[in-house]
Chains A and B, each alone.
Chain A
Amino acid sequence: DIQMTQSPSMLSTSAGDRVTITCRASQRINSYLNWYQQKPGTAPKLLIYAASSLQRGVPSRFSGSGSGTDFTLTISSLQPEDFATYYCQQSYRTPYSFGQGTKLEIK
């Protein structure tokens, strides 16, 4: 099975900050990597698919990069509504797997 490891697990940040979250796969997954945002009590929302493609309707301050085993999600300038938990997910092969999540907290 493919293990996904995110870092950091938690990040205290401020509105306006640039934030980078990393995700590492235990084996090569090409670009089969997606990013989701989840707010408390709601379903996850797809932000980025295929490592770097922005899902329709997602603000351009979100971007993704990487290939192989190492990936990043970048938020260029944090907005108040971006404080949430972020998950990476590999879709290279089943069992699909998610990272453990990165929670963005207000500093």
Chain B
Amino acid sequence: QVQLVESGGGLVKPGGSLRLSCAASGFAFSDYYMSWIRQAPGKGLEWVAYITSGGTTMDYADSVKGRFTISRDNTNYSLSLQMNSLRAEDTAVYFCARDRVKWGGPYYFDFWGQGILVTVSS
């Protein structure tokens, strides 16, 4: 069965860096785009970034552009989010999610990890 497991969260000071990882299993990882989505405490969902199946194209929300970098390792079924210059407003639960399949079709997030908390505070 499809599984996505995030790791790497925690407490970091403003201006600091953190790297999140997402271990994927149960599906052909290299066939799917992948996304990161976050949810601030008590708030709604915010899409953060996506990466294409081959890892050649990425896109970001304006709120993180230039600070966050999404990447993937298809050999090791792994997705990452490098977060630099962190701000208090980046505090959130971060979810990795399976995005569209590479050969087209409807676009949706059909499987999500359990989420990992990132807290940015001094």
> Hey, which bits of chain A sit against chain B, CB under 8 A?
1, 32, 34, 36, 38, 42-46, 49-50, 53, 55, 87, 89, 91, 94-101
Q: Which of B64-122 contact A (CB under 8 A)?
A: 95, 100, 106-110, 112-115
Across the interface, name the chain A residue whose C-beta is closest to B4. A43
Per-residue CB contact flags for chain B residues 45-67 toward chain A (1 = under 8 Å, else 0) read 11100100000000101100000
Q: Is the CB of B44 within 8 A of A101?
A: yes
Number of B residues, CB within 8 Å of A: 20
Q: Is the CB of A94 within 8 A of B50?
A: yes
A89 and B61 form a contact (CB under 8 A): no
Chain A facing B: main interface SS: loop
Do A96 and B47 touch (CB < 8 A)? yes
Query: Are A97 and B47 neighbours in the complex by a CB distance under 8 Å?
Result: yes
Is B45 within 8 A of A89, CB to CB?
A: yes
B positions within 8 Å CB-CB of A: 35, 44-47, 50, 59, 61-62, 95, 100, 106-110, 112-115
CB-defined A-B contacts under 8 Å, sample of 23: A1-B62, A32-B106, A32-B107, A34-B108, A36-B45, A42-B114, A43-B113, A43-B115, A44-B45, A44-B112, A45-B112, A49-B106, A49-B108, A87-B44, A89-B45, A89-B109, A91-B106, A94-B47, A94-B59, A96-B35, A96-B50, A99-B44, A101-B45
A95 engages B110 (CB within 8 Å): no
Contacts A89-B45, A98-B46 given; indicate if A50 touches B106 (C-beta within 8 A): yes
